[in-house]
Structure 1
Amino acid sequence: MLPKQLFFLTNEHLCAYQWQRGRLSEPRHFLADRAGMDAFTQYLRENPDRPAYLIADMVEEDFQRQLLPHVSGRARRGLIARRMNLAYRDTPFRHALIQGREAAGRRDDQVLFSAITNPGAVQPWVNVIGQAGVPLGALYSAPFLAMMLVRSLAMAQDHLLLITIDSAGLRQTYFQGRHLKFSRLTTMTADERLADVVAEETDRMQQFLTSTRLTGRGDLLQTVVLAPRDEIPALERACEDGPEIAFHFVDMETAAARLRMREVPRLADTLLLTLVGRNPPASHYPTGAAGHLFRLWQTRIGLYAGSAGLVAAALAATVYNVWATVDANNTAARLTAEAPQFEARYRAVMATLPPAAARTVNMRAAVTVDETLRMQGPQPLALTAIVSDSLDRAPAITLLSLEWQVPSGAPPAAGGAANPLQQAGQPTDAPAPIYSSALGIPSPPPQTIRIEGEIDAPENDSRAVLDAMNAFALDLARNRRLAVDIVTPPVDVRSNARLSGKAGLAAEPGKPRFALRVTWKP
């Protein structure tokens, strides 16, 4: 847990504590006057970067219960804000808590409004904290913190009146189940006996709860008095059970044991401060400029935590890389030491074998060449399949012949012999060499195919003949890797061609023929 500054504020004074390692320091007391404010300012300068949490236990704290129409979202927030402005116009310290819904009727929301009606008792202390640059995390109401105390001590009842004695006086807080409904602070003078004040104020509180219909006829008010152990006997004699009230007395030793506190306090202030120090809840009242400083402090702490995480991750990565490097070096050294042994064993095994027809390197190269020829060597199947698909879409064309060719290779270099075999003294009538590029090394070679076919078209309809051949050629050319050239058209349409024939005579027998050359680059 991070260190904190905890302040308990009453109408007369402020008690300051330091929370560190799960324990409260000795309190420092500051009166609510100019001298006390100046001393408090000097005190804040001792720990300007330590966040602060302020608990206000004021006489002028008002509670109102209202029923609001059940709405949600922005409409609910606007309705609550208007009701708070109407009920507590003159104070910025106001709070609204939704406590469920009515069981019948429109099922309106039950809302508890509270406010410190005398802001002049709190605002100067908040201003001093902000001017000192101390981040104020929250401004709490002591009655609302009493809900945490009820849950921690497992004292929830249908009708519970919790009576505590703190530095501000006698605090009476009424709960229905787990919900706070009303609270009242009574100041005590030095000559008043605690037992007499508790008995008198409890009787008044019971009458008030009955008059406001918080308790009904026949409801039993469970009254729990939290007091020092030496006061319990006098309280038991002064407070008697009645038909609608039952008293229970819990000493501070028992409360401290349930909260796992190392020291036994005498006042309830310490119990509330301990709960806030361990797990600070959300603020009940606005904190103003000092709250902005707290949000900046949270951002700074978040950045520090993120930076620490990055540094830890970097250190972990560095340690891992160093370990991996050392391990890799050890492995490399071991393999280097083992390599001569394996080389000697290899040579010994090879010495016992008969001479091989070819070296291992040559055999590996031959296998590589064979695999390359199998994968990239020229084959007519792929190109003839493309031509076959186009012929299926051209029913008017009849295939007569196919001539598949692959270029023999690159031409000889400029200035060199036409045949490289002549440079080696070979006879001039030796066959021309086949270059590796024609075999698919290093890449598949281009291939050509000559297509000869005839066209089945109406007699003397030259336009239909040309359209059929052109459609077939365009269908082949749709493949981006094919280049189609017309070698022999079915009809000679050149401008210098000679036309001959006689009108009325039948055309010569036979169908028009054509020839195409298709070049494919795989």
Structure 2
Amino acid sequence: MFSKHLFYLTGDQLHAYLWQGGRLAGGGVFNNDRAGVDAFLDYVDNHGEMPAYLLADVIEEDFQRVHAPHVGGRAGRKLLQRRVLQQYRETPFRHVQVQGREATGRRDDVVLLSALTNPSAVQPWAEALEQLKMPLAGLYSTTLLSTELVRKLGLRDEHLLLVTQQSAGWRQSYFHQGRLKFSRLTLAIDRDGAPVDIGAEITKTQQFLTSVRLIGRGSVLQVALVAPASGHAMLEQQCEDGPETAFRFIALRHAETLAGLKTGDAAVAELAARLADPMLLALLARLAPASRYTLGKWQRYFHLWRTKVALYAGSATVAAACVVWVGVNLWQYYQANADSDRLSAESSLYTQRYRAVMAAMPPRVTSTANMRAAVNVERMLATQAPSPLDMMLVLSEALEQSPGIQLLQLDWKVSAGADSAAPVQGEVQSMPISSLMAGIPVKPPQALLLEAEIIADGDDYRTAVDTMNRFAMQLARNPHVTVAIERPPLDTRSSVKLSGKAGQSTVETRARFALNLSWKP
């Protein structure tokens, strides 16, 4: 939480406070004259750059309730700004607040307009802060801030009058269904120097609220009076319940606890025991809302200060992220070094064990490289050596679809490919078997000569030829198999003699044929 300057402004004085570590401490009192402003400049300059919050408690605060057409967005905001400017042209300190909509008719917006009608009470202090380039966070009033106090106290009455005693006098703020409608400040001491009768002043306020129809006749006004517990007895004599008025008394200390007030010195504690000023300042410091009254150019250094704080916060975040990233990398570096040392120790241990085992073994027949090569060759022979099993599976599936075909002979062989060397004629020598025949380095192509016969009725060779063609097509469906007809059932070659007898025959004939199958892995 940032330290803050808290300034409580009355009609003729400014009370300076410091908010540090969640505690309120007094700083000084300055009169609204040239000497007081000069002393105020020295005070602020000596306490360094901190955001300043200006809380006004002046009698020149006006409230107006108006109805405006319900317009949303940017146009609605401009409409309200023009309306409040028309109402208060003589002061720059204006505030507009939409408090809901009417229940009937056009359902216009219910708007509360307020302003500090005596700008000379605020301008010297705002200009002094501007001169020192101090960040002025906002201008507030005790009346508008009392809305938050009502929430803290849990007051939910339909017609509520909140009464507090402050430096400027008795502040009476009227709330309808939790929304501020009117406020009035009366002096605590009359012209004769005697304390005013607060009960009589509350009666005047109630009569005014009834005359302007903020309270209907017969409605009960709930009056919550915040005062020191020691003064409740005297106030009860002045404030008696009536048919349209009900009083309740709230101990000031209890309200200050709910507002989160913690005093930092004896002077503030003594003031907090009598007046509500410290309580409202603590509420303002803890909530730190946006400025209630417009400040214009006097707030520019606050915007710059907030931007600077945001940049510092962003830089701190980036720096923290970099520190974390460096820490993670360092941890990973040390972890990697530890893992490397552990692996080196394990490698040395395994090397020693290997050497011990090898020393106990008999002399090797061959080198380790040759043994590794032999193992690799054995694995390749086990997985890639040629076998007729693949072709037999294809042939079996085709025979199941062709029950009229009977096998006579199978001639399976392995093709060594074009790289295999052929023996030279006239030379008698034993040629070594090519490694391709054993499936090294890849599986070799295979060939299968298939001889079969087709049982047909009579001399129906057309059916036999069709049966052989369907059988060949079934074999050729496998993408690794190529089928070539070696000898058809009816041999029509010009070099073969064609013979037979015409006429019908009831004897079964067996048409033989031969197919040449090639298998490419």
Per the TM superposition, whether the score is higher than 0.5 is yes
Q: Map residues 56-205 of structure 1 onto 2, 5 A cutoff.
A: 56-189=56-189, 191-194=192-195, 196-205=196-205
Question: Comparing 157-166 with 253-262, which one deviates more in the overlay?
Answer: 253-262
Query: Is 2:380–2:441's contact at 8 Å kept on the other side of the alignment?
Result: no
2:330 paired residue among 305, 322, 329: 322
C-alpha distance in 1, partners of 2:54/2:141?
Answer: 9
**Cα distance, 1:303 vs structure 2:** 1.2
Aligned match of 1:499: none
Aligned match of 2:41: 41
Partner secondary structure for residue 157 of structure 1: coil
Larger radius of gyration: 2
User: Over residues 283-333 of structure 1, what are the superposed CA-to-partner deviations in whole Å (9 max), with x where a residue is unaligned?
Assistant: 101223331111111111111111112222222222222222222222211
**Mapped pair 1:299 → 2:307:** yes
Amino acid paired to 1:280: A
**Mapped pair 1:312 → 2:316:** no
C-alpha distance in 2, partners of 1:331/1:324?
Answer: 10
**Cα distance, 1:354 vs structure 2:** 9.7
**Mapped pair 1:287 → 2:295:** yes
Query: Is 1:63–1:113's contact at 8 Å kept on the other side of the alignment?
Result: yes
Aligned match of 2:16: 16
Query: Is 2:197–2:238's contact at 8 Å kept on the other side of the alignment?
Result: no
Question: Comparing 307-316 with 94-103, which one deviates more in the overlay?
Answer: 307-316
Query: Is 1:133–1:290's contact at 8 Å kept on the other side of the alignment?
Result: no
Aligned match of 1:50: 50
**Cα distance, 1:361 vs structure 2:** 5.9
Query: Is 2:261–2:283's contact at 8 Å kept on the other side of the alignment?
Result: no
Query: Is 2:174–2:182's contact at 8 Å kept on the other side of the alignment?
Result: yes
Q: Map residues 74-473 of structure 1 onto 2, 5 A cutoff.
A: 74-189=74-189, 191-194=192-195, 196-263=196-263, 265=272, 266-348=274-356, 352=361, 359=369, 362=373
User: Over residues 235-257 of structure 1, what are the superposed CA-to-partner deviations in whole Å (9 max), with x where a residue is unaligned?
Assistant: 10011111101111122122223
Partner secondary structure for residue 242 of structure 1: coil
Partner secondary structure for residue 91 of structure 2: coil
Partner secondary structure for residue 249 of structure 2: strand
Query: Is 1:163–1:170's contact at 8 Å kept on the other side of the alignment?
Result: yes
C-alpha distance in 1, partners of 2:377/2:184?
Answer: 102
Aligned match of 2:29: 29
Amino acid paired to 2:198: V
Amino acid paired to 1:37: V
User: Over residues 414-462 of structure 1, what are the superposed CA-to-partner deviations in whole Å (9 max), with x where a residue is unaligned?
Assistant: xxxxxxxxxxxxxxxx9xxxxxxxx999xxxxxxxxxxxxxxxxxxxxx
C-alpha distance in 2, partners of 1:138/1:37?
Answer: 19
C-alpha distance in 2, partners of 1:84/1:217?
Answer: 31
Query: Is 2:51–2:137's contact at 8 Å kept on the other side of the alignment?
Result: yes
C-alpha distance 7-365 of structure 1, shift in aligned 2 (>3 A): farther
Query: Is 2:3–2:19's contact at 8 Å kept on the other side of the alignment?
Result: yes
**Cα distance, 1:39 vs structure 2:** 0.6
Aligned match of 2:414: none
C-alpha distance in 2, partners of 1:364/1:283?
Answer: 87
**Cα distance, 1:192 vs structure 2:** 4.4
C-alpha distance in 1, partners of 2:131/2:378?
Answer: 86
Amino acid paired to 1:239: C
Aligned match of 1:391: none
**Cα distance, 1:197 vs structure 2:** 3.0
C-alpha distance in 2, partners of 1:257/1:118?
Answer: 33
Aligned match of 1:505: none
Structure 2 stretches of 5 or more lacking a match? Answer: 264-268, 385-416, 420-430, 432-439, 443-521
Partner secondary structure for residue 246 of structure 1: strand
Question: Comparing 203-212 with 284-293, which one deviates more in the overlay?
Answer: 284-293
Aligned match of 1:458: none
**Cα distance, 1:224 vs structure 2:** 1.1
C-alpha distance 64-336 of structure 1, shift in aligned 2 (>3 A): same
C-alpha distance in 1, partners of 2:102/2:94?
Answer: 23
C-alpha distance in 1, partners of 2:242/2:344?
Answer: 96
Partner secondary structure for residue 277 of structure 1: helix
Q: Map residues 479-518 of structure 1 onto 2, 5 A cutoff.
A: none
The two structures have a TM-score, normalised by structure 2, of: 0.68
C-alpha distance in 2, partners of 1:164/1:186?
Answer: 11
Query: Is 2:7–2:55's contact at 8 Å kept on the other side of the alignment?
Result: yes
The two structures have a TM-score, normalised by structure 1, of: 0.68
**Cα distance, 1:178 vs structure 2:** 1.4
Query: Is 2:90–2:117's contact at 8 Å kept on the other side of the alignment?
Result: yes
User: Over residues 448-506 of structure 1, what are the superposed CA-to-partner deviations in whole Å (9 max), with x where a residue is unaligned?
Assistant: xxxxxxxxxxxxxxxxxxxxxxxxxxxxxxxxxxxxxxxxxxxxxxxxxxxxxxxxxxx
Number of residue pairs the alignment of both structures matches: 391
**Cα distance, 1:32 vs structure 2:** 0.5
Structure 1 stretches of 5 or more lacking a match? Answer: 374-405, 409-429, 431-438, 442-522
C-alpha distance in 2, partners of 1:253/1:347?
Answer: 88
Query: Is 1:157–1:177's contact at 8 Å kept on the other side of the alignment?
Result: yes
Q: Indicate the percent of aligned positions where both proteins have the same amino acid.
A: 46
C-alpha distance 62-340 of structure 1, shift in aligned 2 (>3 A): same
C-alpha distance 192-201 of structure 1, shift in aligned 2 (>3 A): farther
Query: Is 1:48–1:132's contact at 8 Å kept on the other side of the alignment?
Result: no
Partner secondary structure for residue 158 of structure 2: strand
C-alpha distance in 1, partners of 2:124/2:83?
Answer: 26
**Cα distance, 1:49 vs structure 2:** 1.4
User: Over residues 82-109 of structure 1, what are the superposed CA-to-partner deviations in whole Å (9 max), with x where a residue is unaligned?
Assistant: 2112111111110111111111121111
**Cα distance, 1:147 vs structure 2:** 0.5
**Cα distance, 1:13 vs structure 2:** 0.5
C-alpha distance 253-110 of structure 1, shift in aligned 2 (>3 A): same
C-alpha distance 361-7 of structure 1, shift in aligned 2 (>3 A): farther
C-alpha distance in 2, partners of 1:361/1:267?
Answer: 98
C-alpha distance 241-327 of structure 1, shift in aligned 2 (>3 A): same
User: Over residues 138-194 of structure 1, what are the superposed CA-to-partner deviations in whole Å (9 max), with x where a residue is unaligned?
Assistant: 111211100011111112310000111111111110001210001111233375444
Partner secondary structure for residue 26 of structure 2: coil
Aligned match of 2:496: none
**Cα distance, 1:277 vs structure 2:** 1.2
